[in-house]
Amino acid sequence: MSAKELFVAFWTILTKEVRRFTRIWGQTLLPPAITMTLYFIIFGNLIGSRIGEMGGFNYMEYIVPGLIMMSVITNSYGNVVSSFYSTKFQRNIEELLVSPIPYWVILCGYVLGGVSRGLAVGFIVTLLSLFFTDLQIHNIAVTVSVVFLTAVLFSLGGFINAVFANSFDDISIVPTFILTPLTYLGGVFYSISLLPEFWQGVSMLNPILYMVNTFRYGILGVSDISIGFAYGMIILFIVILFSVSLHLLKSGKGIRN
């Protein structure tokens, strides 16, 4: 296929994915907006006003970057896992497999679909946060790049989950039992400097900590960890998950007999 044909194929998958999540906006875009508004009201306003400052900022300002990142993570992951698994379940994955699209284009199409939803929800949550606090962006390049890379990383994670899933139950196991705990313990609501030294060390093993802190650095200019190291970790994880996803597609694991 020529470069133009490859782009048409990629664009077709991406627009199909965007069409899917915008068509069912009541299930994809509205719920995170409501959930995050509740977080802002309960944790930011009601409880946060009693907590005082954290990292030199009031509690609401401190948790907003983490909550935006949390919504980006869960939605980019959720979009790809549900979309790709449904494609398998309805067998319209066969439409893609019989076509000449290279596997890396299929993967990029689905991942960018997940990134689109993650960023769309992140944008909605950011707009909502402006009703509760003033956001001053410290470093726009860091803010945009880390949110994009994080959405890419979790879209890849969702893709791998979908490849291995054999039922709709399987697509909710990882988000419920792994992703949510890691996100909550990834410094969304607190600075790890508040933890005893041992638990700070344990927290450093949580990849979400690096993303939340880098994003917080982009907005507030404060972070618990080294930004350069965080970028290195995120990019390393992306390379690993992209390679694994591509291998799974090529081998036909879970999608070809």
Partner 1 sequence: MTIALSIENLRKVYGNGFEALKGISLQVEEGDFFALLGPNGAGKSTTLGIVSSLVNKTEGRVSIFGHDLEKDLVRAKMCLGVVPQEFNFNMFEKVIDIIVTQAGYYGIPLQTAHERAEFYLRKLGLWEKRNERARMLSGGMKRRLMIARALVHNPRLLILDEPTAGVDIELRRSMWEFLQEINEAGTTIILTTHYLEEAESLCRNIAIIDHGSIVQDTSMRELLLQLNTETFLLDITPPQQQLPKVDGYKAELLDDHTLQIDVERSQGLNNIFQALEAQQISVSSMRNKANRLEELFVSLVDKNLTQEKA
Q: Which is nearer to partner 1, 12 or 191 (CB)?
A: 12
Q: Which is nearer to partner 1, 3 or 141 (CB)?
A: 3
Q: Which is nearer to partner 1, 11 or 199 (CB)?
A: 11
Q: Distance (Å, rounded) from C-alpha 210 to C-alpha 212?
A: 6
Q: Which is nearer to partner 1, 128 or 162 (CB)?
A: 162
CB 52 within 8 A of CB 217: no
CB 101, min distance to partner 1, A: 5
Q: Which of 37, 150, 38, 163 is nearest to 107 (CA)?
A: 163
CB 77, min distance to partner 1, A: 21
CB 227, min distance to partner 1, A: 39
CB 116, min distance to partner 1, A: 17
Q: Distance (Å, rounded) from C-alpha 199 to C-alpha 43?
A: 23
Q: Which is nearer to partner 1, 192 or 248 (CB)?
A: 248
Question: Which tokens belong to 168?
Answer: 């709709």
CB 94, min distance to partner 1, A: 5
Provide the H-helix boundaries in the chain: 3-23, 25-28, 30-39, 48-51, 59-89, 93-98, 103-129, 140-164, 170-174, 180-184, 197-203, 207-220, 227-251
Binding interface with partner 1 (CB under 8 A): 1-2, 4-6, 8-9, 11-13, 16, 19, 23, 87, 90-92, 94-102, 252, 256-257
Q: Distance (Å, rounded) from C-alpha 76 to C-alpha 154?
A: 6
